[in-house]
Structure 1
Amino acid sequence: MELSIIIPVYNVSKYLNSCLESITSNYLFDNKVEIILIDDGSTDGSGDICETWSEKYPYIRTIHKKNGGLSSARNKGIDVARGRFLSFIDSDDIVADNFINIILKILEEKRNLDILIFSYQRILDDNIEKKINYSTCELIAKKYAFELLISTRHDIEKISNTGNYAWNKIYSRNLFEKVRYPKNRNYEDIATTYRLLDNANEIYLTDSILYYYTDNPNSIVNDLKNTRNIKDLISARIEQLEFLKKSDYKEIYAKAYGQLVGICVQFMHKFYNFNLKYDENIKYVESTLMSLDISKLKKWNKFRWGIELYIFQKARFIFKIVRK
């Protein structure tokens, strides 16, 4: 089997049918693809929707499990997948028409591919055009892949191929021999994707938009009051930063360091603005900010984040007064 598409499912009955309709569009069953629905203990009927789709299509199978979170669901999918390549799709998102056929075409052309990175677009309204013509993909240097990993580049239409996301990439199954997503943590992509890139030999990039991301306001990571989110985000960033520090990617490390400062500074403003409850997660952000070194910021970040970091470390009362 060529491709296993792994879809964690948890209480997404509002979105799931649209997601699966987009994936199965224009694909004729040929024994090259399987879709694995991991029902992670849904309580809103999503599990029943999974079963309906499994009965309808021979290449879709459903696995029900006790709720364990996104990482647990993805890991379960990896364990049972039979394809040479793996794709992860979030159940509240959609993909381009002909998604499966396009991916199979690329995998046929690039037999030694380890990772494929493709472009995505945030869904801004319901009138999005999903029909695309696959262009070409090119082999890129690993250094460039890491530059994309920490880039924040987005054009005016919110189109990008950047980021740590699991869902805008195709992976050789071999990359997961010693890698799994960390359990009981959010922002698990950030803690994992850099390890997969490091293990890869041939990384390809296409600017074709194959994925459409739904900014779900009910998702876990969009809950500003869940302070555990920021701790998971920062700890994952620090792990990634430590890897970059030991690598040859010094400029990438410098940019990632600036991003970490910015993330911490922005969250502390939210903490004061929203009067969030002070807990161990907030304390973790504070201690991280106090440990960061302004001298490690490159000139393009020193003015933007360096001043605020200095104020936070030396004159906290001023930082609290400044509302952003």
Structure 2
Amino acid sequence: MNRQNIELSIVVAIYNVRVEFGELLNELKKLSKISQVEVLFMNDGSTDGVEAILSKINYDNFITVTRQNGGLSYIRNEGLKLSQGRYVWFIDGDDIIDSSFVLRILKILEKQESDFIQFYYKRFSDSLGITFPEQSEKKLRMQWLSVDQWFSKLIDPKEQQFENYAWAHIVKRSIYTSNNVAFPIGRNYEDVATTYKLANKTSKILFIKNVAYYYRDRPGSITNSYTKIDVEDLLLSINEFKSNKLLVFSAKLKTNFTHRYLVGAYYMNMQLEDDLNKNLKKQLRSEILENNFLLLNLKFKFEYILFLFNIYEFYIGTKSFVKNYKGKP
């Protein structure tokens, strides 16, 4: 295969996903004869037997690479180094994509240039519940966004399917390589630390209002359980964002972004029972109250007031109680 004319590199991070991987592989096989696409299966030292499945993959545009376990950021960075596509899409081996979306994206890129393509995603726990759109419903709903418009959607509480996860966008590979953007090794919430850097270097963002990615909710995953390290890693990413002097985003957007993730870190910290986290909680509350209240959107102003009077946890507890009470028969 001539790897000089690749339009899209799909980098699949694989670690102990033998049970779930087959569903994604079935979709990716539909791209096995598409010469503009390469798929890199990056095995991060799996120990569950998934390598037996990988060893049987034999398509010209499918490449399997095994590394010693180094974590998600490490294996993504390795995939980026090996990729040859003009665009790159990072996905996880236990999730599912709609292969027909890739074909439609390729057609769009033949006619229109974009630095960054954002799309919706959907969570699922049972793949039997996934139904890809019928042919008549597969028309892509597209909107061009400025960088500030993209950032506004990212921090909009109403845009719950618009996220900064690495698998929620396809980006020109040169945006990564020319700006030395890499996933931070050994840290969780690596997407929070990288996505804004990519958007900051783009000029044309294409937003596709269709679901292209299906994220599997697994018990024990990082998005469903938290540790003190998770909170500290997220806080580190926030502080890196705050100290970055090269960002083009407006002060209002930067303030709202900081608030959103500080509150997220505080909420995560609430789930921890260790008394040692009290100091971290105080630090987070202090940083939340350092934000400029006047620049916050309405929902975030409400949260700011809750923190100001130190009743955020009471509010969350009451809200949870009411929700559970209403759910009783």
Q: Which residue of 1 aligns with 2:43?
A: 39
Q: What's the offset of the Cα at 1:17?
A: 0.9
Whether the 8 Å contact between 2:262 and 2:287 is mirrored in structure 1 is no
Q: Determine the structure 1 residue equivalent to 2:310.
A: 311
Unaligned runs of 5+ in 2: 1-5, 321-329
Contact 1:13 1:45 in 2 (8 A): yes
TM-score, normalised to structure 1, is 0.84
Q: Tell whether 2:9 aligns with 1:9.
A: no
The 3-state SS of whatever aligns with 1:194 is helix
Mark the CA change 1:148 to 1:295 in structure 2 (over 3 Å): closer, same or farther. closer
The answer as to whether partners of 1:31 and 1:59 remain within 8 angstroms in 2 is yes
1:193 corresponds to which of 192, 195, 203: 195
* 1:236-275 correspondence runs (5 A): 236-243=237-244, 247-271=248-272, 275=273
Deviations 1:48-86 (A, max 9, x none): 222222x2x221111100111111010000000011110
Distance in structure 1 (CA, Å) of the matches to 2:203 and 2:248: 16
1:1-324 mapped onto 2 (5 Å cutoff): 1-25=6-30, 27=31, 29-53=33-57, 55=58, 57-110=59-112, 112-123=113-124, 125=126, 126-132=128-134, 133-154=138-159, 160=161, 162-177=162-177, 178-224=180-226, 226-243=227-244, 247-271=248-272, 275-276=273-274, 278=276, 283-293=279-289, 296-297=292-293, 298=296, 300-311=299-310
Letter in 1 for 2:284: T
CA RMSD of aligned residues (A): 2.7
The structural deviation recorded for 1:264 is 3.8
Residue 246 of structure 1 deviates from its aligned partner by 5.8
- Give the aligned length: 303
Sequence identity percentage: 28
Q: 1:154 and 1:142, CA in 2 relative to 1: closer, same or farther beyond 3 A?
A: closer
Report the Cα distance in structure 2 between the residues aligned to 1:270 and 1:60, rounded to whole angstroms: 41
Structure 1 counterpart SS, 2:307: helix
CA distance 1:220–1:295, change in 2 (3 Å): closer
Asked whether the 8 Å contact 1:262–1:305 carries over to 2, the reply is: no
Assess, with a 3 A threshold, how the Cα gap between structure 1 residues 130 and 277 changes in structure 2: closer, same or farther. Answer: farther
Report the residue type matching 2:184 in the other structure.
P
TM-score by length of 2: 0.82
Give, in angstroms, the shift of residue 100 of structure 1: 2.5
Q: Are the structure 2 counterparts of residues 89 and 267 from structure 1 closer, same or farther at C-alpha, using a change threshold of 3 Å?
A: closer
Q: Which residue of 1 aligns with 2:326?
A: none
Whole-angstrom CA distance in 2 between matches of 1:255 and 1:311: 20
CA distance in 2 between counterparts of 1:215 and 1:151 reads 22
Letter in structure 2 aligned against 1:173:
R
